[in-house]
Amino acid sequence: MSNFLFGFDVIMGYLMGSICSAIIVSRLFSLPDPRTEGSKNPGATNVLRLSGKKYAIYVLLGDVLKGLIPVLIARLFHSSPSAVGFTCFSAVLGHIYPVFFGFKGGKGVATTLGALFGLNLILGLLVTLTWLVVANFSRYSSLASITAVTLAPFFALLNIQNLDMFPPLIFISAIILYKHKNNIARLMNGEEPKIEFKKSTIAMDEAVNEAIIIDEHKKPEVMDEPPKF
């Protein structure tokens, strides 16, 4: 029975992970195909570039849920810690290599986050906080993702304290590092694009700088003669 449950959890995780939110949202709203446009990565970031914030949020929620739901189901069935851990891994694997979409998927970060929240709330919060801190100081989304996911297995050891969950989380970190190999190369070469501020913020900064320049070049008023008393 335990072997059957293990197999069921893993297959369920993979099939749910294979539901590509980016492609489904793009087809539903007649948007550009993220597999052939932009970075050609069917994920929320590429949809954001191609179609805007609203549709990217839809994709992000879908990617998180397809990692969260199978893990919660596995826990509901009282599966072993190892089975729950490999359900996380299979959901991420499904996102990266989806059986329904020619095994060409995204990079798996959002699905990993959803799976980790399903595994343990504090673990999910720690990984999210790590991403936010690294992204805030470095302005590199890819570096934040790599750092957060790489530290996830060690956060799990400290928080969950179950060695059975460590191997599948290591596998998740390894495959996400592999999917980010081009980002890593660009980071090393100083070519990776940074997180951009909103245009309004940039425009405000430019206006302030222009005002400062004008003020610096403004000549002070000079009185022709001293005041008489």
Residue spans of the domains in the chain: they are: 2-194
Q: What's the confidence (pLDDT) of residue 196?
A: 67
pTM of the model: 0.82
Q: What's the confidence (pLDDT) of residue 171?
A: 97
Q: Which residue, 164, 77, 80, 92, is CA-closest to 127?
A: 92
Q: What's the confidence (pLDDT) of residue 1?
A: 59
Residue 45 CA: distances (Å) to CA of 2, 105, 109, 119, 189: 39, 13, 11, 25, 22
Instruction: Report, as an integer, the average pLDDT of 126-136.
Output: 95
Q: Of 74-78, 153-157, 189-193, 220-224, which range is least confident?
A: 220-224
